[in-house]
Amino acid sequence: MQRNKEMPNLFVIGAEKCGTTSLHSYLDLHPEISMSRHKEAGYFARSSADYRLFRIADRNDYLGLFQPGTQVRGDTTPAYSSFPESSGTPARIDVEVSEPKFIYLVRDPSERIESALRHWAAYGRFGPGSEALVVEELPRNFMLSRSRYMTQIEQYLEYFPPESILVVDSDRLRQERSTTLAEIFEFLGVEPTFDHPDFREEKNPATSYRVPPGIWRRLRSARLADSLVRVTPGPMRLRVRKVRWNLSQAVGEPLPEIVLSDALRERLRTELEPEVAALREFTGQKFDCWSM
């Protein structure tokens, strides 16, 4: 397939629950950057059945999400760092995109998992008491694999040079935003001193989730609902996904607190410390506020 010069040349590849919504918004404010009109288009992803339902699969629909001619055009899709659940993403990008750059947001792996559990519980996928799912001995355990940061990066290193990947600690983006954004802009080759009042705002903090009632979860899983989504034009599917989420939060009840036990955190430490050590070596960053 011929590479298209209007394809995005920036990919914010994750990780899930690490501040990608905020970064997408900040990047889009820069006059030299055009982020996709809808976040998580997922064109290059091959993931779960639910994700495939909402991803933009048509090439023309995908290209229509970006402002043509902009120096940097960006796609933010955390599913791009969900190997092995979604495999082959770097290879597909390599086929269609010339010299892309990648930004990978990371955070303390245990905190990321805890936040992801709350997120998916709000979708009705997990509930309180399901925390042990994160360490199930499953080869495609997405809850655990998405905290295997170096494993995700290694998928990209098979196709792209190390200097094309910028790893950003989400804590720095939150606490040292101006400095961190300046470093990101410099990495992208755009004006690094650009500032905007909206940089002071954190997007999608998700401090409180609501869990949808049982009838809502049954409607979500109904084949009729899936069929309606499939006949919806590609770009509209992303709007449908957002509306569906907002409705589920509007009709839901407060989500019971989900906190990882000390014993589970220790198991995660044993499982993920080698990944964190490899990430420190690759990036030269200390991540000294992390629990492992």
pLDDT tops 80 at residue 289: yes
Look at residue 5 and tell me if it is in a domain. no
Look at residue 49 and tell me if it is in a domain. yes
How many structural domains compose the chain? Answer: 1
Looking at residue 232, its pLDDT comes to 62
**Residue 215, Cα to own-chain centre: how many angstroms?**
28
The per-type count for the chain, helices as H runs and strands as E runs, is 13, 7
- Between the alpha carbon of residue 277 and those of residues 270, 280, 284, the distances in Å are 12, 5, 10
Give yes or no for a contact between 279 and 106, defined as CB atoms under 8 angstroms apart: yes
Look at residue 288 and tell me if it is in a domain. no
Distance CA 202, CA 26 (A): 9
Give 35 or 207, the one with higher predicted confidence: 35
Domain interval for residue 248: 10-283
Distance CA 75, CA 82 (A): 15
What residues form DSSP beta bridges with 125?
none
Q: For residue 251, give the CATH number of its domain.
A: 3.40.50.300
Interval 133-186: pLDDT, tens: 555 554 457 788 999 999 999 999 999 999 999 999 999 999 999 999 999 999
pLDDT tops 70 at residue 233: no
For the record, the structure tokens of 11 come out as: 């990919």
Look at residue 150 and tell me if it is in a domain. yes
Half-sphere exposure of residue 39: CA atoms within 13 angstroms, side-chain side: 20
* Whole-prediction pTM: 0.85
Residue count (the chain): 292
∠ CA 151-127-53, rounded to 5°? 60
Give 166 or 5, the one with higher predicted confidence: 166
Look at residue 67 and tell me if it is in a domain. yes
Interval 6-22: pLDDT, tens: 899 999 999 999 999 99
Looking at residue 262, its pLDDT comes to 87
Alpha helices (H) along the chain: 20-29, 49-54, 59-63, 89-96, 109-122, 142-145, 149-157, 170-175, 177-188, 214-221, 223-230, 234-251, 262-283
For the record, the structure tokens of 281 come out as: 């070596």
Burial (0-12, 13-18, 19+ Cβ within 10 Å), 203: middle
Give yes or no for a contact between 10 and 18, defined as CB atoms under 8 angstroms apart: no
Looking at residue 56, its pLDDT comes to 85
Look at residue 1 and tell me if it is in a domain. no
Distance CA 64, CA 186 (A): 27
Look at residue 174 and tell me if it is in a domain. yes
Look at residue 289 and tell me if it is in a domain. no
Average confidence score pLDDT of the chain:
83
For the record, the structure tokens of 88 come out as: 């082959």
Distance CA 11, CA 103 (A): 6
